[in-house]
Amino acid sequence: MPINQLKAGTFLSYLTIILNSVIGLIYTPFMLNKLGQSEYGLYSLVASVIAYLTVLDLGFGNAIIRYTSRFRALNKQQEQHEMFGMFLIIYTIIGIIAFLIGLVLYFNVENLFDRTMTPIELHRAKIMMMLMIFNLAFTFPMSIYSSIILAYEKFVFQKSINLIRIILNPIVMVCMLTLGYKAVAMVVIQTIFNVATLLINCWFCYNRLKIKVVFKRFHWGFLKEVTIYSFWIFLGVIMDKIYWNTGQFVLGVVKGTTAIAIYALAIQLQGMYMSFSSAISGVFLPKITSMVAKNAPNSEISNLFIKTGRIQYIVMSYILVGFIIFGFDFINVWAGNKYRDAYIICLIFFIPLTVPLIQNIGITILQARNQLRFRSVVYIIIALLSLGVSIPLSIKYSGIGCAIGTAFALTLGQIIVMNIYYKKKVGININLFWKEIIKMSIIPIMFCFLGLMINRYIELNSYLKLLVGIITFSIIYLPCFWFLSMNKYERDLFYKPVKSLINKIKK
């Protein structure tokens, strides 16, 4: 793997996430104000329903990355091109199936939500659903090119395109909302940007990577192997949808658009939180696949797991502690007092979610080793249990109850069961991992208690006060964490690029 692509890809991932988060934090209050709570809840509900259809990917996108990396390592060019042709046919069929299933949903909107929505809301929901169905149907066959770009480790190109899209999308959205357009216009803009991005990826693959798509032979034996590998990823994707999209659907049935809006805002913040962790692990699949293909020892892979987990924890602990201290005041200032329950929902998500987020390189290891079966089966069982718990809790406690059901599943499946599995079956030194994380956690825990105590006497009711508070916290927290929680390798990882940049500026 070209190390510059890996480092640049990770850097651009974080730049994209930071920019996306900053834009989202600025843009969301404007959007909430222009749309209103009901319209935003409606938009979130339709998006969550359509998100279920993305499971029709069946895990093949990840399989394309894995097998393309393997074929490239073994210099099997023809097999690679024939695989592309096979997947393009499969994805086209999946796109047609997604469109047909979407039509069934479209014609049953009234039957699903007529008890909690007005006729106008139902009409708008149908329009948005049809647009999203088209978007998804087009995305499936074209998504093969995004996977190919990742497999070829062209992280800089892909991240750059995403960066441009992140900047342009809110600019256009603000113009549309200012002109008086609502959620339907937002879906139209998203569709246009998505189609444009997919076409650019297609152009890059044919004109820069010089790939070929061959329909000469359909390798049924190879398809069987890929299907078995992809099936367990597919089950994991279903679990993710149950975790993060079922809540809006359940609340839409039992509570209405207001409850959905509060929960959706928490889900948006949860998505931002998760993205800061996946930026690192997301670029490691080709590298780990190569390590596995070359029979790297368990100790080497275990060390990578611990090293990556520590680096992720540096980022995640800073965000988590900051949110615990400032999150309630931030949501009140940012979204308004009527969204204050989103803080509790976020905390219920963030705290248990931190563990799998600093261990998500483990998923990449399982993918590379084709060991996803156990994880996927466990996650499906836990996710279904979560759904069963969430429904009665949602009826009684609205969004907070729904979040408790999700957190219960996270703790049982992704923390307890998976840590045992990583230790017993994958050969990762989990005891050493947690010893390292616990040592790093002393400073974050101290600052949580100290920050919450100070917060009782200070009211941060404006952006300026919040900014001053966060800067003050960072000035004290970061040096403490730097010297007392980070090792030399981690300090060099952050320090050397800054030093290099300073030297270049001086020259």
Task: List, as one string, the DSSP characters of 302-347.
Answer: HHHHHHHHHHHHHHHHHHHHHHHHHHHHHHHHHT-GGGTHHHHHHH
322-341 pLDDT tens trace: 999 999 999 999 888 888 89
Question: Which pLDDT tens digit goes with each residue over 52-76?
Answer: 565 555 567 778 887 887 788 778 8
| pLDDT range class, residue 21, cuts 50, 70, 90 | confident
Confidence of residue 364 (pLDDT cuts 50, 70, 90): confident
Looking up tokens 């957190």 gives 407
| Distance, CA of 8 to CA of 78 (rounded, Å) | 30
Q: Is the pLDDT of residue 424 over 50?
A: yes
Model confidence pLDDT, tens digit, residues 267-276: 889 888 987 7
What pLDDT is stored for residue 280 in this prediction? 62
Rg (CA), the chain: 23
Among 204-208, 243-247, 375-379, 421-425, the least confident range:
243-247
Residue 484 has pLDDT above 70, yes or no: yes
> Rounded to an integer, what distance in angstroms lies between the CA atom of residue 56 and that of residue 456?
48
Its pTM stands at 0.71
- Which of the pair, 6 or 315, is modelled with greater confidence? 315
C-alpha span between 49 and 129 (Å, rounded): 9
pLDDT tens-digit map of 155-166: 778 778 888 888
CA distance 482 to 493: 12
Nearest to 199 by CA among 138, 118, 284, 287: 138
281: pLDDT strictly greater than 70? no
- Higher-pLDDT residue of 4 and 24 is 24
Amino acid at 444: P
pLDDT at position 149: 86
